[in-house]
Structure formats: structure tokens, C-alpha cells
A and B are shown apart, each in its own frame.
Chain A
């Protein structure tokens, strides 16, 4: 991008900002950074600039870069939720493309600033992530690269299992007492530690549950209670958890967030005084981004359509709705309210209407024999199916049910089954990672084929057994 073009882009971005404010958005200010594709794809595969190293990131980077080099796909935009936000533009994009991206980005940063689920995200995450990366790099020096990598392999396998709401709840005081300060003479206590542990076991009343309530935050539970971990390992657990907590709101609001950004780019670009050739370019980009997909829902398209429908319905209420007190002309105010208070699950459940399901021709499909077949068109079931797929951002909802199972310090995880079965062979492999962290046998209870199944890894082998209804 030549200097002249950069100047033009700066002018366009300033204009796009004014238009964003004029349409009623209130975005975080944005620092735009023009980068070469290799950097764009690196940040895309790592999620954040400067994040810690791991081979899985290298694998993702390689795949994304390959498909870009072969012209199969292209990331247009990458924006970091921070204040001020940070967005990356590809250096070989045209000025119009990058203006389009900037307009889209203002939709995102407005969403970051106002959506309730983002209220507790660490807005200085880029700095924290690089600080963590440095610490982890230091651990590689101290404990060996392979050792750190092996531990990260295990932690990353379960990284989705955090609880976004933990920091809203008070922590229960008697779960864990404060750890004593370590001194060089601690080994003297080793002499009677075993005896004391045995005593503690005996003292613990039979009905005392540990943890008291089932806990969804498996990473936190492991960091606090796994017995054989070194301090650096607990730090890695907490680092991965912290970064995951930062990403959870983005995973919970993908449809809405992209919907708002698409709404922003389409309105801003239409008011940009483009000549007819530029307008054609914009229209091509817009249709490219908002195109339907047979195999999965395009969040840009879905979010954009639902938001527009909300605006229309609150601008022009039906006679019934007016009778119930809805004032006409409230469309935009309603859109802003929704962007503030909903996440994808509530958004789709509340606003994906019968008309929209039909108009968008949405369906559910599944595998039957060798074929993938459409199995559901009824609008309620389709809507509920879509919502179910977004629940817990598409991952099975697991809780630690017992951290002292069989009074033998074994870990008992329960899958809160809501109609979708887990991939059992994957689960068994993942249990071996869980064992690596917990250090004692691990169990997973789930439902398969309408029967309760218990998967166990005891350190040497995986077993599966059926649980009787009255068995605990």
C-alpha cells in the first residue's frame, strides 16, 4: 500500500468513524495496523498478538497460511477486544476493501464496549498475554521445552471447560484454606504428612461432598486441588483459563457480534459517497460475506438478518403489539437494547421467528447411513436445534461432581446431558490428558444410547461400563 493510498485510507476511516457515531454507535476508538499476510495469519491463528507458543498454533497457522497462499480463503479483518481496540488490515487489500473492513470493525468495537457479557473481560489482555508468554518461555528454560509442551498439550485439551460466571459468585471460604508460606525447611513436615493426610481422610464425614456444589470450572478446580502439580504447572493452568475467559464472551456472541458488525459496515458504506464502480465493489464484498451455507449457518448472515428484522418489527408493530403497548418507531432503540443485553442463545431463542426460519430456509440435518439428510423443517424445532448447538458455545457441559470419588481422591466428571451425545473415543483420549494433570484415576459419566455410561482412565487403561439406574 503506497503512502498516497494510506492517506486516502486514513481519510476514509475518519469519515467511517463519523458515520458510525451518526448512526448511533458508540465504539471504542481503534488503532489500525497495516500488516503483511504472514502477520495477519499469525494473529488469526493465535487469537492474540504475542500469545504463548505451542505447536498446535503452528499447525493452525500453517493451515490458514496455506489456504491463503492457494487463494482458497482470506481473512479480511482481525480486531482485538481492548480499549482502545486494535485492528489489523491486510497490506495488499485495496483502499476500498480496507475501508469496508474498518466500517465492519466499528460494529465490533461498539459491541465490545456495550454488550453485557463483555463487561468483565480484561481490556488489557494483549499485555497480559505477552507477560504470560514470557513466563511460559522461562519455564521452558527451567524445566525443559518438552516437559512444558507435554503439560500444555494436556491443558489445551480441556481448555473450554471454564466457568465464565465464577468471578461473579463469591468463592466458598471452606473449600480451600490459605496455603502456608513455603520455607526451605518444609521437608521436615514430610515426615508426618502421610499420617496427617490419613487422619484428614478419616475425619472427613461420609456425607461431605467435595466440591460442595458441582463445579463447571474444571481448569480452576485442577489448579486449586490437583495434588502433584508444581507451581509453574498451576500457573499454566491459570494462564490458559484466564485467556479462555477472555475469549468466552466472543464465543457466546458470535452471531450477534458479526450481525452488528455487518449492520455497521452496510450502513456506513452506503453513506460513504462511493462512485458507481466502488459501490459495485462494496456490493460484491457484502454479498460475499453474507452468503448462506448448506452445512453450517453463516453467523454474519444470520445475525444481520435477525437484527434487521428486529428493527423492522419494532418500527412497525402489528395492531396486536400496539394494543400491548409497543410504540411505533422504536426499531433502532430496540436493536441497541438487544446488542447490550443478549447473547446468542437468548438472541436466537427470542428473535428467530417463524417467518425468518422460513424466509432463510433453515433446516436441521444429520447423518443417516452414508448420507447427510435434512431431518427437520418445523420452525420451532429448527430454532431449538440451532440454540442447542450454541449452548455452552457448542461444547458438552461438564462439571466436576466429585473430587474424592470412592474416597480415593479420584476425579468424577459428569456430563450434563441435553440430548447430544459425546464422541466417546475422543473423550477417552482426553481423559488420559485429564489424568496427566490430576494424577489419580479419572471418570466421566455421560449418556449414550439412552443409557448412563461411565468412562474411566486409571493410568494404564481406558474402560467403559454401563451404570444401573440405582447405582451411584
Chain B
């Protein structure tokens, strides 16, 4: 578990880096197409507004 590292103080973050990245990958895959609740504002209209400037 320590992977040859000298203490839990260094082995723990080593593992946590890998585990948290795997967790983030899992989160990304699980929510790959999840857009959440639709926006109440239309982005197109804001972009159009900006064009006028």
C-alpha cells in the first residue's frame, strides 16, 4: 500500500491523487450528456446583443 514510500503522509496523497482522478473520470463519463436543467436565458440572444456593440 505504501508503494515503497516512507510514511502514510506521502503515500496517502499519492493514492488520493490517483483515486480522485479516477473519480473525476467516472463523474465525467456518468454525466457526459447531462446538461442539467435547461437555461432560462437564450445564449443566442446575448451573443446577438454583443454584436450590436
A and B pair up: no
* Chain A residues with a Cβ under 8 A of chain B: none
